[in-house]
A and B are shown apart, each in its own frame.
Chain A
Amino acid sequence: MPAPLDDKLERDLSVGTAWLVVLATIARAEEAIHGYEIARQLAAEAPEGLSFKQGTLYPMLRTMESEGLLRSELVPSSEGPARKCFTLTADGRRVLVAWHDTWRRTNKWVNRVLGGVDELR
């Protein structure tokens, strides 16, 4: 099997799940959360070897904000300049709930299908 295909699934999955995990990270934060903290939490929990380039988070946050999924505010920080912090809008919460549901269904379906190929390992 050609080597580049080995990580195709990983690439595709990280593309497909990026928005979902970013929205979820913002949703579970108790207060407005800034970009660096989102990146830190995502990186800390990312599975071994999964490439998540933290810098791609910022353009994503910006697009989400202009789509109305996020609201941002400048929160003064004792450690430096005011930081741009994000919370979900009502629209953002609605989208997250819908996506969560989609994820659960997809996950269940994939697991069911994969259950049949266990003996290949």
Chain B
Amino acid sequence: MSAVSTAVGRNEPLAPEALKAPLFVSLAEKMLAGGRWVVLDLGPAQAATIGFLNQFRCRLEIADLPVSIESLNAEADKAQCRQLAESVLPACSSEPVDMVLCWDLLNYLQRPALTAVMAEIAGRAQPGTLVHALIVYSGKQMPERPGPYYPVWEADDDALTSTRLANIRMTSRECEAPRYTPDDLAHCMSDYRIERAKLLSNGMQEFLFHL
């Protein structure tokens, strides 16, 4: 069988800066194995993400969190922040979420907002739900605004042969990175446990949590 070599949704070859993200690959492999999945993407709608998930039996929920980060961070009251988190996320459905794609967005949430958002997600998920996140680890700075991540991949007839993550940088301006430690994350995400973590080539740490 001849190999199909494509990066569907972007119509371009694998970008050289695309990240190897082994834990994301492990998620894709779980989806490939079958079953129906409910995926919550905290980022904006991306053609490539939809194209990628189109290969699987799934329902994709899109939160477009970047447009609400400022208001979430500005909310000082815990209860109000939780209420805001509820309104920011897509409306609850009868199906619990199985997988959450946070990309790099947790870096942009201050601790109270991070706690509220992840607690709200936990209320829509079920035990075993997987959460994927990229946390700035070694760098002191990060882009001032989050830029969307999206998968790029190659596939042959019945397998993904290469899956990576690419990122569109939205601004050259930078801000201080929170550099959340595993302890910080455990504190803010008390419903979740770290399943695996990997240091990536771009100075980020890739986390896979489970509920």
* A, B co-complexed: no
